[in-house]
Amino acid sequence: MNKKQAKERIEYLQKTTQYHAKKYYDDDKPEISDFEYDMLMVELRNLEKEYPEYSSKDSLTKKVGGHVKEGFKKVEHEVPLQSLQDVFSFKEVKEFDERVSKQAIENDIELNYVVETKIDGLSAALEYKDGILVRGATRGNGLVGEDITENLKTIKTIPQKLKDKINITVRGEVFISKADFEKMNQEREENEEELFANARNAAAGSLRQLDSEITAKRPLDIYIFNVQKIEGKEFESHFEELNYLEEQGFNVNPVRIYCNNIKEVLNAINKIGEDREKLTFGIDGAVVKVDNLKFREILGTTSKVPKWATAYKYPPEKKQTKLKDIICNVGRTGVITPMAILEPVKVAGSTISKTTLHNEDFIKDKNLKIGDTVVIQKAGDVIPEIVEVVKEKRDGTEIEFNMPEYCPVCGAKAVREEGEVAIRCTGIECPAKLYRNLVHFVSREAMNIDGLGENIIGQLLDKGLIKNIADIYTLTFEDIASLKKKGDKFAQNLIDSINASKNNELYRLITALGIRHVGVKAAKNLAKRYKTIENLQNASFESLSLIEDVGEIMANSIVEFFSENQTKDLIKKLKNSGVNTKVEEDDNTDNRFEGMTFVLTGSLEEYTRDEASDIIEKFGGKVSSSVSKKTTYLLAGEDAGSKLVKAEKLGTKIITEEEFKEMIK
């Protein structure tokens, strides 16, 4: 490589590592694996060492990645929260020991080490005054972090008060356990939410929430691994420090091995590597630290890393196995997900026999066929994944896989809409989707059946009292009363609510059916246009496409939905149960708001947002969710926010609730 090539490569690597560091530290959405990022950093470090003239003070080899997120207060760290120098071989660990040993001999100091697990989480500093937790912050760029005190206080393993009344700042790693991480991702998959890439990013994203109530719902934990600063107390060794922290009530890193020499250090790294699958938390390496604290001061630090520690990173373990079959599972929202059935193989300490293939595009991108020999690894040491196909091992017996045209659970048509990767079951009575469909059907914006919440729906399903949506209307007083001790009052209230829902307006029923892309606004337009559920069932794609706010995608979704036998069966059952399926003729000819567009903001005293919207629409007006030049009135209640500011800028007429009441007299 000549100088020109070196300069170009260094500039490329500096730019690329900055980009991926931002995705990892700031956005909590990495696009490449930790190992791939580490390899880029190793190459950059080596090139900058060979060509120092092309190095830069902004290179991530010189500083810690990460910035303060907008919305958080800045915290200046009295003692910098530095990164660690990563190494990837025992040869590099020995070279670290040689450098440290040389200075130990020169200073006549006995050299000992502590080897700890490198926890895969988000680093944080906790500050205590007189033994009381007063502030917590993220690492940020090492010098300035984010004030996340309220979020950290939601973590049960962080003591609010210490045993001793001391002034101390400690550093720890916030993480999510392997079991909790798998549970979180499973729930997100069922809810069709984007999966967390790994446990570290799940923890980071949870901890850096502007709303601490969201953080409180996440299963965060912490292990403390260092004293940053302490007043009125001195320690000789790091090991002694950790024991003291444990006595104070801190949750200290449970894996810490005292070593007398480099041989014991290497044995400890091997031991942690062998046992890593048994750990309840994820790790991405082992940290080797000098134990003597005064010797640490002699060794010093660079601008980015301490010279008294190094981090050994374990390489991802890969194994080959056979892809025996591909089956499809149906989630609660109807997404059909392909699953690889593998010849069992042990990877990173656990036996892998199946793994998700995500979607149709993933299978095509990997060029997977049933019968292939594939390479398996664990992503983030938790989730097993297929890395690639070993094409040279193909013998012609492999079978192409195609996603099913019909739902494997209920037989309804399976569709993939334009611009989406997911294939979905369209059957409204599909057993796999039933719980989610029921929850939506009874929700406030749909049929609004008060008292029929998620817990009650779960009990009714478990007891076999409902097997489809229409069964809600066949529930008896005795059925409901049996769910609770002394449940007579509850049962009567729920029966009354169910009966009342039969008289709902047609748009509520259309909303409740859960037709993909059809929300409340579209449902109102459809009810207004077609008047009856039968007319909507028979509507053509062409006529639907001409309706305001109904585009081609929504029109196609409606046609597909009503073409299913399951839909026809449900509508018939609902009609037989007495549920209203038509628009009641309204004698009102008062269109005083015709041609006007209203936007609602803040809290109203006498009306809910839905009630106010219904009144506006009854008088021929429209309700929009955002302020624009076309907005006629902004109806502003208490605690009006950004919409009020925008309306003032645009000169939009702003009315109070009292003025609105005058307008509708």
Contact 63, 48 (CB under 8 A): no
The pTM for the full model equals 0.55
Q: What is the pLDDT of residue 318?
A: 84
Q: Calculate what percentage of the chain has a pLDDT beyond 90.
A: 57
From the candidates 118, 313, 433, 643, which is the catalytic residue?
118
Q: What is the pLDDT of residues 303-332, one digit of tens each?
A: 889 999 999 998 877 889 999 999 999 887
β-strand 256-259 against 144-146: which pairing, if any? unpaired
* CA atoms of 560 and 542, how far apart (whole Å): 13
Contact 357, 363 (CB under 8 A): yes
pLDDT-based confidence at residue 599 (cuts at 50, 70, 90): very high
Helix (H, G, I), strand (E, B) or coil at 507: helix
Whether 474 has a pLDDT exceeding 70, the answer reads: yes
Query: How high does pLDDT run on average in the chain?
Result: 89
Q: What is the pLDDT of residue 625?
A: 81
Q: In what order do the strands lie in the sheet with 622-624?
A: 622-624, 597-601, 633-636, 653-655
Helix (H, G, I), strand (E, B) or coil at 15: helix
- Looking at residue 388, its amino acid is E
- Looking at residue 587, its amino acid is D
Helix (H, G, I), strand (E, B) or coil at 133: strand
Q: What is the pLDDT of residues 165-219, one digit of tens each?
A: 999 999 999 999 988 988 888 887 777 677 776 788 888 888 888 777 888 888 9
In the block, residue with structure tokens 């066949």 = 474
β-strand 335-347 against 423-425: which pairing, if any? antiparallel
Q: What is the pLDDT of residues 344-394, one digit of tens each?
A: 988 866 678 999 898 999 999 999 999 999 999 875 555 788 989 999 999
Handedness of CA 289, 295, 299, 302 (dihedral sign): positive
In the block, residue with structure tokens 């660690």 = 84
Q: What is the pLDDT of residue 348?
A: 66
Three-state SS for 419-486 is CCCCEEECCCCCCCCHHHHHHHHCCCCCCCCCCCCHHHHHHHHHCCCCCCHHHHHHCCHHHHHCCCCC
* CA atoms of 288 and 301, how far apart (whole Å): 15
Q: What is the pLDDT of residues 210-253, one digit of tens each?
A: 777 888 888 999 999 999 999 989 999 999 999 999 999 999 99
Contact 429, 585 (CB under 8 A): no
- Helix %, strand %, coil % for the chain, to 5? 40, 20, 40
Is 15 part of the annotated catalytic residue set?
no
Contact 154, 208 (CB under 8 A): no
